[in-house]
């Protein structure tokens, strides 16, 4: 007898949900998932290949359970006086944040985030049985210290998620917001800095606030600036006690020997890999300038993407129709579910050319009839 998902005894709060994920379509220009458009340079490919090959003979043995050498390399990269004891790594920053929710959240506990923000945070909360409170930002997606503190005091969350730069808006937080939330929050404060390397000059990092704040956690990823999305390596920086806490819930040997070796080789060549950051920032700023010059509203961005308004686009500023029309022109951007807005990743100059050309072509026409899942 055929069995579907609804026929299985899954948790009630998971019924009717769909797996998280952006469309993976065979399109000429893919600017929907904030990947680094530049391939890994050949010298780094060779170095990673050699590092991974050196591990192959010993794959019959478990990897270093605590990834000590990798954590030491990550501490060296971040600086700020951090040591191996302050770092923890996992398969992407999503797993790091899931471990934080497993350790500090769970049934009967609540996490607070300020939306629109990274849509995985509430899903991670759901998966760990943690209650979720969708906090608010102002009409221009800003968040002031006073407003953030008022919401923290209202909800008394066990965890607060702050994104800087924020996804999907790209805006970085005023350090005063983080300071104020740290002073008001009764539990853990997690600052998601997945796009920190793309921030404009002078934009501070929450890493500087770690001394004296044992309940602050800063999460990062190698997926974006390092162009290591396929390598799946995320990490956190925090007080050593926080690292001890997440080790209570991590799966044994969660980071493979191959992942650790590849990530260490990438970190050893970070100057080469991060060489694309300036080029990507240039394209981001170009997109902002071009769209602003066309009278299109954009959110100020410190990330490798730009959130832009489709108000005034035909038909009726419906972002779903504009998304579809861009797709018909061979350009895939992201509909993040924010009415009237779309997000585009800053890629290569050629990809920016294609996006700007396609956007102008669809601005005053109706969307095509061909339909693809958003």
Q: Check for a shared fold between 5-39+275-362 and 42-272.
A: no
| Residues of the chain below pLDDT 70 | 1-2, 365-374
Q: Which of 296, 293, 335 is nearest to 318 (CA)?
A: 335
As a whole number of angstroms, the distance between CA 209 and CA 222 comes to 21
pLDDT at 296: 95
Q: What is the pLDDT of residues 250-271, one digit of tens each?
A: 999 999 999 999 999 999 999 9
* Percentage of residues in the chain having pLDDT higher than 90: 88
Which residue ranges make up each domain of the chain? 5-39+275-362, 42-272
Q: pLDDT tens digits for 136-172? A: 999 999 999 999 999 999 999 999 999 999 999 999 9
Query: What confidence tens digit (pLDDT) does each residue in 77-115 have?
Result: 999 999 999 999 999 999 999 999 999 999 999 999 999
Q: What is the pLDDT of residue 374?
A: 44
The encoded tokens of residue 8 equal 């299985």
pLDDT attached to residue 19: 86
pLDDT of residue 368: 43
Name the CATH topology of 42-272: 3.40.640
CA distances 200 to 41, 203, 232, 337, 362, Å, are 25, 6, 25, 27, 31
159 three-class SS: strand
Q: Which CATH class is domain 5-39+275-362?
A: alpha beta
Task: Please tell me the distance from the alpha carbon of residue 70 to that of residue 336, in angstroms, as a whole number.
Answer: 34
Report the pLDDT value the prediction gives residue 24, as an integer from 0 to 100.
85
161 with 117: CB under 8 angstroms? yes
37 close to 28: Cβ distance less than 8 angstroms: no
Q: Which of 189, 169, 155, 158 is nearest to 118 (CA)?
A: 169
Rounded to the nearest 5°, which phi and psi values hold at 231?
-80, -20
Q: What's the pLDDT score for residue 365?
A: 67
What is d(CA 74, CA 263) in angstroms, rounded to the nearest whole number? 9
């Amino acid at each position: 007898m055929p069995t579907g998902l609804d026929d299985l005894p899954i948790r009630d709060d998971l019924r009717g949900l769909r797996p998280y994920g952006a469309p993976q379509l065979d399109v000429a220009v893919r600017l929907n998932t904030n990947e680094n458009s530049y391939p890994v340079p050949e010298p780094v490919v060779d170095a990673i290949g050699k590092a991974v090959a050196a591990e192959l003979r010993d794959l019959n043995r478990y990897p270093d359970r605590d990834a000590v050498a990798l954590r030491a390399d990550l501490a060296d990269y971040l600086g700020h006086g951090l040591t191996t004891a302050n770092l923890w790594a996992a398969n992407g920053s999503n797993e790091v944040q899931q471990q934080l929710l497993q350790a500090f959240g769970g049934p009967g506990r609540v996490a607070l985030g300020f939306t629109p923000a990274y849509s995985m945070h509430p899903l991670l909360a759901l998966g760990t049985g943690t209650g979720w409170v969708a906090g608010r930002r102002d009409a221009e997606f800003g968040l002031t210290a006073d407003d953030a503190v008022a919401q923290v005091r209202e909800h008394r969350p066990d965890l607060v998620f702050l994104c800087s730069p924020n996804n999907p808006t790209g805006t970085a937080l005023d350090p005063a917001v983080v300071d104020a939330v740290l002073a008001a929050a009764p539990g853990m404060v997690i600052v998601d800095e997945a796009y920190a390397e793309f921030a404009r000059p002078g934009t501070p990092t929450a890493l500087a606030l770690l001394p004296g704040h044992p309940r602050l956690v800063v999460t990062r990823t190698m997926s974006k600036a390092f162009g290591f999305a396929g390598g799946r390596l995320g990490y956190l920086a925090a007080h050593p006690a926080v690292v001890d806490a997440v080790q209570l819930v991590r799966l044994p040997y969660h980071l493979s020997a191959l992942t650790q070796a590849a990530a260490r080789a990438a970190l050893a060549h970070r100057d080469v890999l991060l060489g694309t950051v300036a080029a990507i920032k240039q394209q981001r700023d170009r997109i902002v300038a071009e769209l602003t010059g066309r009278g299109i509203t954009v959110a100020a961005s410190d990330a490798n993407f730009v959130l832009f308004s489709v108000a005034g686009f035909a038909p009726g500023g419906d972002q779903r129709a504009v998304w579809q029309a861009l797709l018909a022109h061979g350009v895939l951007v992201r509909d993040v579910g924010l009415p009237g807005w779309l997000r585009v990743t800053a890629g290569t100059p050629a990809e920016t050319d294609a996006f700007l050309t396609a956007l102008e072509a669809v601005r005053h026409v109706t969307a095509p009839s061909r339909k693809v899942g958003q």
